[in-house]
Amino acid sequence: MNFLAHLYLSGDDEAVMLGNFMADFVKGRPEDRIPDSPQKVGIIRGIRLHRQIDTFTDTHEVVLQSKLRLRPVYRKYAGVIADMFYDHLLAAHWTEYADLSLTDFAEQTYAALRRNRAVFPPEMDRLIHYMTTENWLVGYARIEGIDRALRGMSQRTVFESGMEQAASELRANYLLYAREFKTFFPQLTEFSRWHLTQL
């Protein structure tokens, strides 16, 4: 899953959300990487949750169907594209999963990211700047927003990815991806809520 899903699945604990958001930038044991602070325990829980979400997602049979459809054209980038498609579908169907509007959720999230900038690795500064100023999370609700994100990612890949064309695949097979997402996401939500109680 991509940024929106990870943020949503963090629940109401801000420290867990911070850890879940930064997890891809933290290698190895989080206990050894996160400096001491009142938020350290929650941040570590968030990092662990992020890793469990990724494992659950990457091995789920429904997600594998989405990746299989993408793999002939996009090869090793199929998983990245599927994650982005699923973030779009979460944003587009947000009211089915959350009581708070997507706009309010995004504004609260951006405020928390800005407020806690000091806890993030320095290399995340640009990411947070562009995410908040360009309002990525709300933009994900439109195919054009996902298209823009995929084009940006394509420019940053070392190898040719084809991601700049992937929005056309989403348009062509929208109902298939939506059906797969709606089957998968409630299971991921239940798994994440359970796993948070075990961390």
Domain residue spans in the chain?
3-198
Task: Please give the model's pTM, rounded to 2 decimal places.
Answer: 0.94
Residue 195 has pLDDT above 90, yes or no: no
Closest CA to 23 of 6, 47, 40: 47
Q: What pLDDT score does 152 carry?
A: 87
Instruction: Show Cβ contacts of residue 156 under 8 Å, excluding neighbours closer than 6 positions.
Output: none
Encode 59-72: b = buried (16+ Cβ within 10 Å), e = exposed.
ebebbbbbbebbbe
Q: HSE, CB side, 13 Å, CA atoms: give it for residue 89.
A: 24
C-alpha to C-alpha distance for 195 and 193, rounded to whole angstroms: 5
Q: What pLDDT score does 32 carry?
A: 86
Residue 27 has pLDDT above 80, yes or no: yes
Phi, psi of 64 (to 5 degrees): -60, -30
Chain centroid to Cα 52, Å, comes to 13
Residue 108 pLDDT class (50, 70, 90 cuts): very high
Taking residues 188-198, what's their average pLDDT?
92
Query: Which tens digit of pLDDT belongs to each residue from 5-25?
Result: 999 999 999 999 999 999 999
Query: Which tens digit of pLDDT belongs to each residue from 41-82?
Result: 999 999 999 999 999 999 999 999 999 999 999 999 999 999
Residue 156 pLDDT class (50, 70, 90 cuts): confident
3-state SS assignment for residue 101: coil
Both tokens of residue 146?
């996902």
